[in-house]
Amino acid sequence: MKSLLQLWLIVIFVMTSQSAQARSLTPLEGLEALRRSFAGLQDFTAELTQEKQLSIMKKKLVMQGTIKFKKPDRFMMVLDPPYSGTVLLKDTVLEQRLGTNGERQRIVLPPEQGLGRWIGAVAKPVTSVPEGMEVQAEQVSGLTNVLIRPAKGGQLKELTIVLQQDGTVRRLELLERAGDRTVMTFRKTRKNVGLSDADFRME
């Protein structure tokens, strides 16, 4: 009986150890994991914690809020006080407002930077890594971590995306070439809730 118990303890230990070990993925597998996470997604809402570390500041800014997304090209983020503000993106039109009564700013992005273009690119089957891009991916403890280093020339140096087993995005981390780092952690994510364009308006 004692030997049988010891055997089961060894089996449990081995299984637990294996599940905690990282399994490397190829760059294509990492990009394909991202594609699958968006494949069945039409919209989502989530609570957000955003931590921003500016290269010129020692203090980390921690912000709370909510985000909404809807295919093919709608995104909205609302931050709570004391860092209240709203960011609304409709494809290539970016609107933002600091505070609850602040002045609204509007920026029109180039067509190649539109949200719809990015979402459309993610939806296509992955057959190769884009030229100049570096991708590293691994699976550990039920999470898939994908690190992307875009081609040189842009402001973004690294993008890390952490996916849960069901493909839900758990965390995004952005490192800019200037040294600023932003980490966004998502909670209470609700997918395919039936959002409409009317849900993406800046009051």
pLDDT at 21: 63
CA 161 vs CA 35, 36, 47, 93, 192: distances in Å:
12, 13, 17, 24, 20
Q: What is the pTM of this model?
A: 0.75
Block mean pLDDT (10 aa), the chain, length 203: 42 40 86 86 93 83 94 92 91 88 87 82 83 89 89 81 89 88 93 94 84
DSSP string, 116-157: HHHHHHHHSPP-SPPTT-EEEEEEETTEEEEEEEPPBTBSEE
- What pLDDT score was predicted for residue 66? 95
| Domains of the chain, first to last | 23-199 (2.50.20.10)
Angstrom distances, CA of residue 34 to CA of 21, 74, 80, 162: 21, 19, 29, 10
Q: What pLDDT was estimated at residue 202?
A: 85
The CB density around residue 198, as the number of other CB atoms within 10 Å, is 6
